[in-house]
Structure 1
Amino acid sequence: MKFVSGLVEAMGFEATTSLQSNGTELDVVVNGQQLGLLIGPGGRTLLSIQNLARVAAQRRLGDHDTRLRVDVAGYRARRKAALEEFAAKLVADVKTSGVSRALEPMPSVDRKIIHDALSGVDGVSSRSEGDDPYRRVIVSPASTGDS
Protein backbone atom coordinates (compact mmCIF):
# COMPACT_ATOMS: atom_id res chain seq x y z
CA MET A 1 0.00 0.00 0.00
CA LYS A 2 2.90 2.35 0.69
CA PHE A 3 4.00 1.95 -2.92
CA VAL A 4 0.57 2.97 -4.27
CA SER A 5 0.07 5.85 -1.83
CA GLY A 6 3.59 7.11 -2.59
CA LEU A 7 2.94 6.93 -6.32
CA VAL A 8 -0.38 8.75 -5.96
CA GLU A 9 1.30 11.47 -3.90
CA ALA A 10 4.25 11.74 -6.31
CA MET A 11 1.78 12.28 -9.16
CA GLY A 12 0.30 15.22 -7.24
CA PHE A 13 -3.08 13.74 -6.31
CA GLU A 14 -4.85 14.17 -3.01
CA ALA A 15 -6.32 10.78 -2.23
CA THR A 16 -6.74 8.25 0.52
CA THR A 17 -5.60 4.67 0.21
CA SER A 18 -6.83 1.70 2.16
CA LEU A 19 -5.86 -1.95 2.23
CA GLN A 20 -8.28 -4.85 2.52
CA SER A 21 -6.88 -8.33 3.01
CA ASN A 22 -8.67 -11.61 2.44
CA GLY A 23 -6.19 -14.43 2.91
CA THR A 24 -4.09 -14.51 -0.25
CA GLU A 25 -5.82 -11.50 -1.82
CA LEU A 26 -4.94 -7.87 -1.18
CA ASP A 27 -7.10 -5.01 -2.41
CA VAL A 28 -5.66 -1.51 -2.43
CA VAL A 29 -8.41 1.08 -2.81
CA VAL A 30 -7.64 4.67 -3.80
CA ASN A 31 -10.33 7.31 -3.30
CA GLY A 32 -10.35 11.01 -4.05
CA GLN A 33 -11.47 13.58 -6.57
CA GLN A 34 -10.49 13.75 -10.23
CA LEU A 35 -8.40 10.59 -10.31
CA GLY A 36 -9.09 9.75 -13.96
CA LEU A 37 -5.41 10.07 -14.85
CA LEU A 38 -4.68 7.16 -12.50
CA ILE A 39 -7.19 5.03 -14.42
CA GLY A 40 -6.22 6.00 -17.96
CA PRO A 41 -7.96 5.01 -21.20
CA GLY A 42 -9.75 1.70 -20.75
CA GLY A 43 -8.10 1.28 -17.35
CA ARG A 44 -4.65 0.71 -18.87
CA THR A 45 -2.85 3.07 -16.47
CA LEU A 46 -4.58 1.40 -13.54
CA LEU A 47 -3.44 -2.02 -14.77
CA SER A 48 0.13 -0.74 -15.04
CA ILE A 49 0.02 0.67 -11.51
CA GLN A 50 -1.41 -2.63 -10.29
CA ASN A 51 1.37 -4.61 -11.98
CA LEU A 52 4.06 -2.39 -10.47
CA ALA A 53 2.44 -2.59 -7.02
CA ARG A 54 2.17 -6.38 -7.31
CA VAL A 55 5.86 -6.74 -8.13
CA ALA A 56 6.80 -4.38 -5.27
CA ALA A 57 4.60 -6.31 -2.82
CA GLN A 58 5.95 -9.67 -3.94
CA ARG A 59 9.53 -8.49 -3.49
CA ARG A 60 8.78 -6.96 -0.10
CA LEU A 61 6.77 -9.92 1.18
CA GLY A 62 8.80 -12.60 -0.57
CA ASP A 63 5.46 -14.10 -1.57
CA HIS A 64 4.50 -14.80 -5.16
CA ASP A 65 1.13 -16.42 -4.37
CA THR A 66 -0.62 -13.32 -3.04
CA ARG A 67 -2.92 -11.60 -5.51
CA LEU A 68 -2.97 -7.82 -5.43
CA ARG A 69 -5.64 -5.65 -7.01
CA VAL A 70 -5.72 -1.87 -7.14
CA ASP A 71 -8.98 0.01 -7.61
CA VAL A 72 -9.38 3.75 -8.08
CA ALA A 73 -12.65 5.45 -7.08
CA GLY A 74 -14.79 2.36 -7.76
CA TYR A 75 -13.60 2.08 -11.37
CA ARG A 76 -13.55 -1.72 -11.44
CA ALA A 77 -17.24 -2.05 -10.50
CA ARG A 78 -18.24 0.61 -13.05
CA ARG A 79 -16.14 -1.05 -15.75
CA LYS A 80 -17.64 -4.47 -14.99
CA ALA A 81 -21.19 -3.08 -15.22
CA ALA A 82 -20.41 -1.32 -18.51
CA LEU A 83 -18.88 -4.46 -20.03
CA GLU A 84 -21.83 -6.60 -18.92
CA GLU A 85 -24.22 -4.09 -20.51
CA PHE A 86 -22.12 -4.11 -23.69
CA ALA A 87 -22.17 -7.93 -23.71
CA ALA A 88 -25.98 -7.94 -23.47
CA LYS A 89 -26.25 -5.62 -26.49
CA LEU A 90 -23.71 -7.73 -28.33
CA VAL A 91 -25.81 -10.87 -27.77
CA ALA A 92 -28.80 -9.19 -29.39
CA ASP A 93 -26.69 -8.03 -32.34
CA VAL A 94 -25.08 -11.44 -32.96
CA LYS A 95 -28.38 -13.31 -32.59
CA THR A 96 -30.19 -10.91 -34.93
CA SER A 97 -27.50 -10.72 -37.60
CA GLY A 98 -26.19 -14.28 -37.33
CA VAL A 99 -22.72 -12.85 -37.86
CA SER A 100 -19.74 -13.25 -35.52
CA ARG A 101 -18.31 -10.11 -33.96
CA ALA A 102 -14.66 -9.55 -33.08
CA LEU A 103 -14.18 -7.09 -30.24
CA GLU A 104 -11.29 -4.69 -29.85
CA PRO A 105 -8.25 -6.11 -28.05
CA MET A 106 -8.66 -5.88 -24.28
CA PRO A 107 -6.90 -6.93 -21.09
CA SER A 108 -7.55 -10.41 -19.70
CA VAL A 109 -9.66 -9.08 -16.83
CA ASP A 110 -12.05 -7.44 -19.32
CA ARG A 111 -12.15 -10.52 -21.56
CA LYS A 112 -13.08 -12.63 -18.54
CA ILE A 113 -15.98 -10.30 -17.72
CA ILE A 114 -17.27 -10.64 -21.30
CA HIS A 115 -16.89 -14.45 -21.29
CA ASP A 116 -18.60 -14.72 -17.89
CA ALA A 117 -21.47 -12.49 -19.05
CA LEU A 118 -22.00 -14.66 -22.14
CA SER A 119 -21.43 -18.07 -20.54
CA GLY A 120 -25.05 -18.67 -19.57
CA VAL A 121 -26.62 -17.16 -22.67
CA ASP A 122 -28.23 -19.52 -25.19
CA GLY A 123 -27.59 -18.89 -28.87
CA VAL A 124 -24.09 -17.42 -28.67
CA SER A 125 -20.59 -18.59 -27.82
CA SER A 126 -17.40 -16.71 -27.11
CA ARG A 127 -13.72 -17.42 -27.42
CA SER A 128 -10.49 -15.45 -27.21
CA GLU A 129 -7.96 -15.37 -30.00
CA GLY A 130 -4.67 -13.70 -30.71
CA ASP A 131 -1.70 -12.92 -28.51
CA ASP A 132 -1.45 -10.27 -25.82
CA PRO A 133 -1.63 -7.34 -26.02
CA TYR A 134 -3.80 -7.86 -29.12
CA ARG A 135 -5.89 -10.73 -27.75
CA ARG A 136 -9.60 -10.22 -28.39
CA VAL A 137 -12.97 -11.84 -27.79
CA ILE A 138 -14.91 -13.31 -30.70
CA VAL A 139 -18.65 -13.67 -30.16
CA SER A 140 -20.39 -16.05 -32.56
CA PRO A 141 -23.83 -17.51 -33.07
CA ALA A 142 -23.79 -20.86 -31.25
CA SER A 143 -24.97 -22.68 -34.37
CA THR A 144 -21.59 -22.07 -36.07
CA GLY A 145 -19.94 -24.58 -33.75
CA ASP A 146 -17.60 -22.02 -32.17
CA SER A 147 -17.00 -22.40 -28.47
Structure 2
Amino acid sequence: MEEIIPKLKSFLGLLIRTAGFTLRSIEARKEDEKTVKVELFVDGAGLMIGENGENIFSWEDVLNQWLRKNSEGFLRVWLDINSYRWQNEQRLRELAKKSAREAVLSKNPVRLPTMSSYERRIIHTELALHPNVATESEGKDPERRVIIKPI
Protein backbone atom coordinates (compact mmCIF):
# COMPACT_ATOMS: atom_id res chain seq x y z
CA MET A 1 0.00 0.00 0.00
CA GLU A 2 2.81 2.41 0.84
CA GLU A 3 3.96 2.59 -2.79
CA ILE A 4 0.50 3.53 -4.11
CA ILE A 5 0.07 6.58 -1.85
CA PRO A 6 2.43 8.92 -3.79
CA LYS A 7 0.76 7.88 -7.06
CA LEU A 8 -2.69 8.49 -5.57
CA LYS A 9 -1.61 11.94 -4.36
CA SER A 10 -0.23 12.77 -7.80
CA PHE A 11 -3.44 11.63 -9.52
CA LEU A 12 -5.61 13.60 -7.09
CA GLY A 13 -3.46 16.73 -7.48
CA LEU A 14 -3.81 16.55 -11.26
CA LEU A 15 -7.56 15.98 -10.95
CA ILE A 16 -7.98 18.96 -8.60
CA ARG A 17 -5.98 21.33 -10.78
CA THR A 18 -7.76 20.15 -13.94
CA ALA A 19 -11.10 20.84 -12.26
CA GLY A 20 -9.93 24.43 -11.68
CA PHE A 21 -9.36 24.35 -7.92
CA THR A 22 -6.29 25.75 -6.17
CA LEU A 23 -4.62 22.98 -4.21
CA ARG A 24 -2.99 23.94 -0.91
CA SER A 25 -1.99 20.48 0.32
CA ILE A 26 -2.74 16.78 0.20
CA GLU A 27 -2.01 14.57 3.18
CA ALA A 28 -2.42 10.84 2.64
CA ARG A 29 -1.57 7.98 4.95
CA LYS A 30 -2.38 4.36 5.60
CA GLU A 31 -5.27 4.33 8.08
CA ASP A 32 -5.48 0.54 8.36
CA GLU A 33 -4.73 -2.47 6.15
CA LYS A 34 -7.40 -1.53 3.62
CA THR A 35 -7.91 2.21 3.99
CA VAL A 36 -5.98 5.21 2.74
CA LYS A 37 -7.03 8.38 4.57
CA VAL A 38 -6.71 11.47 2.37
CA GLU A 39 -7.03 14.97 3.78
CA LEU A 40 -7.23 17.59 1.07
CA PHE A 41 -6.97 21.35 1.52
CA VAL A 42 -8.06 23.61 -1.34
CA ASP A 43 -9.09 27.22 -1.83
CA GLY A 44 -12.78 27.72 -2.59
CA ALA A 45 -13.74 24.26 -1.39
CA GLY A 46 -17.49 24.90 -1.32
CA LEU A 47 -18.07 23.47 -4.80
CA MET A 48 -15.86 20.49 -4.08
CA ILE A 49 -17.67 19.75 -0.84
CA GLY A 50 -21.20 20.39 -2.14
CA GLU A 51 -24.40 20.78 -0.18
CA ASN A 52 -24.20 18.77 3.05
CA GLY A 53 -20.89 17.30 1.88
CA GLU A 54 -22.52 15.32 -0.94
CA ASN A 55 -19.75 15.98 -3.46
CA ILE A 56 -17.07 14.58 -1.15
CA PHE A 57 -18.50 11.11 -1.71
CA SER A 58 -18.39 11.61 -5.49
CA TRP A 59 -14.71 12.59 -5.34
CA GLU A 60 -14.14 9.61 -3.07
CA ASP A 61 -15.81 7.31 -5.62
CA VAL A 62 -13.49 8.57 -8.38
CA LEU A 63 -10.46 7.90 -6.17
CA ASN A 64 -11.73 4.44 -5.24
CA GLN A 65 -12.22 3.57 -8.92
CA TRP A 66 -8.67 4.76 -9.65
CA LEU A 67 -7.36 2.65 -6.76
CA ARG A 68 -9.13 -0.48 -8.02
CA LYS A 69 -7.43 -0.07 -11.40
CA ASN A 70 -3.99 0.86 -10.08
CA SER A 71 -3.40 -1.26 -6.99
CA GLU A 72 -3.41 -4.89 -6.04
CA GLY A 73 -5.83 -6.13 -3.44
CA PHE A 74 -8.79 -4.30 -1.98
CA LEU A 75 -8.10 -0.75 -0.87
CA ARG A 76 -10.44 2.14 -0.29
CA VAL A 77 -10.07 5.88 0.17
CA TRP A 78 -11.59 7.89 2.98
CA LEU A 79 -11.54 11.52 1.80
CA ASP A 80 -11.94 14.72 3.77
CA ILE A 81 -11.85 18.18 2.19
CA ASN A 82 -10.82 21.16 4.33
CA SER A 83 -11.75 19.11 7.45
CA TYR A 84 -15.45 19.20 6.51
CA ARG A 85 -16.12 15.55 7.35
CA TRP A 86 -14.21 15.71 10.62
CA GLN A 87 -16.12 18.83 11.73
CA ASN A 88 -19.43 17.30 10.64
CA GLU A 89 -18.72 14.11 12.59
CA GLN A 90 -17.97 16.16 15.71
CA ARG A 91 -21.22 18.10 15.24
CA LEU A 92 -23.19 14.85 14.85
CA ARG A 93 -21.60 13.31 17.95
CA GLU A 94 -22.55 16.39 19.98
CA LEU A 95 -26.09 16.24 18.57
CA ALA A 96 -26.31 12.57 19.58
CA LYS A 97 -25.19 13.28 23.16
CA LYS A 98 -27.47 16.30 23.52
CA SER A 99 -30.45 14.40 22.11
CA ALA A 100 -29.77 11.41 24.39
CA ARG A 101 -29.79 13.72 27.43
CA GLU A 102 -33.05 15.24 26.21
CA ALA A 103 -34.65 11.80 25.71
CA VAL A 104 -33.61 10.62 29.18
CA LEU A 105 -34.75 13.81 30.94
CA SER A 106 -38.07 14.10 29.09
CA LYS A 107 -38.69 10.33 29.05
CA ASN A 108 -39.84 10.81 25.44
CA PRO A 109 -38.29 9.76 22.14
CA VAL A 110 -36.30 12.38 20.25
CA ARG A 111 -36.62 12.42 16.47
CA LEU A 112 -33.59 13.78 14.68
CA PRO A 113 -33.74 15.47 11.27
CA THR A 114 -33.42 13.35 8.13
CA MET A 115 -29.86 12.21 7.52
CA SER A 116 -27.77 10.20 5.11
CA SER A 117 -26.91 6.62 6.04
CA TYR A 118 -23.36 7.78 6.80
CA GLU A 119 -24.64 10.40 9.26
CA ARG A 120 -27.13 8.01 10.86
CA ARG A 121 -24.35 5.48 11.42
CA ILE A 122 -22.35 8.12 13.33
CA ILE A 123 -25.35 8.75 15.63
CA HIS A 124 -25.99 5.02 16.18
CA THR A 125 -22.30 4.36 16.88
CA GLU A 126 -22.00 7.29 19.29
CA LEU A 127 -24.95 6.06 21.37
CA ALA A 128 -24.45 2.30 21.01
CA LEU A 129 -23.02 1.92 24.52
CA HIS A 130 -25.20 4.56 26.17
CA PRO A 131 -26.91 2.77 29.08
CA ASN A 132 -30.12 4.82 29.06
CA VAL A 133 -31.11 5.12 25.39
CA ALA A 134 -31.66 2.99 22.31
CA THR A 135 -31.54 4.19 18.72
CA GLU A 136 -33.35 3.10 15.61
CA SER A 137 -33.82 4.47 12.12
CA GLU A 138 -37.27 5.04 10.66
CA GLY A 139 -38.67 6.08 7.32
CA LYS A 140 -37.48 5.53 3.78
CA ASP A 141 -34.59 7.25 2.07
CA PRO A 142 -34.18 10.12 1.55
CA GLU A 143 -36.47 10.88 4.51
CA ARG A 144 -34.87 8.38 6.90
CA ARG A 145 -34.06 9.63 10.41
CA VAL A 146 -32.80 8.39 13.78
CA ILE A 147 -35.11 8.08 16.76
CA ILE A 148 -33.47 8.14 20.21
CA LYS A 149 -35.63 6.38 22.81
CA PRO A 150 -35.17 6.36 26.58
CA ILE A 151 -34.97 2.89 28.12
Q: Shared fold (TM-score greater than 0.5)?
A: yes
SS in 2 for 1:76: helix
Q: Secondary structure at the match of 1:103?
A: strand
**2: CA distance between counterparts of 1:9 and 1:133?**
33
Amino acid corresponding to residue 13 of structure 1 in structure 2: F
Q: Which residue of 2 aligns with 1:32?
A: 42
- Report the CA distance between 1:119 and its aligned residue: 1.8
- Give unmatched runs, 5+ long, in structure 2: 1-7
Task: Give structure 1 regions of 4+ aligned residues with deviation exceeding 3 angstroms.
Answer: 129-135
How many pairs does the alignment contain?
141
Matched, 1:18 2:27: yes
CA shift for structure 1 position 131: 4.9
The one of 103, 123, 136 aligned to 1:127: 136
Equivalent of 2:124 in 109, 115, 124: 115
What corresponds to 2:61 in structure 1? 51
Among 135, 141, 146, the residue aligned to 2:150: 141
2:101 and 2:111 map into 1 onto residues whose CA distance is 15
What is the RMSD of the two structures over their aligned residues, measured on CA atoms? 2.2
Structure 1: state its 5+ residue gaps. Answer: 143-147
Confirm whether residue 101 of structure 1 aligns to residue 110 of structure 2.
Answer: yes
What is the aligned partner in structure 1 of residue 3 from structure 2? none
Change (3 A) 1:103 1:4: farther
Q: How far apart are 1:97 and its partner, in Å?
A: 2.8
TM-score when normalising by structure 2 = 0.78
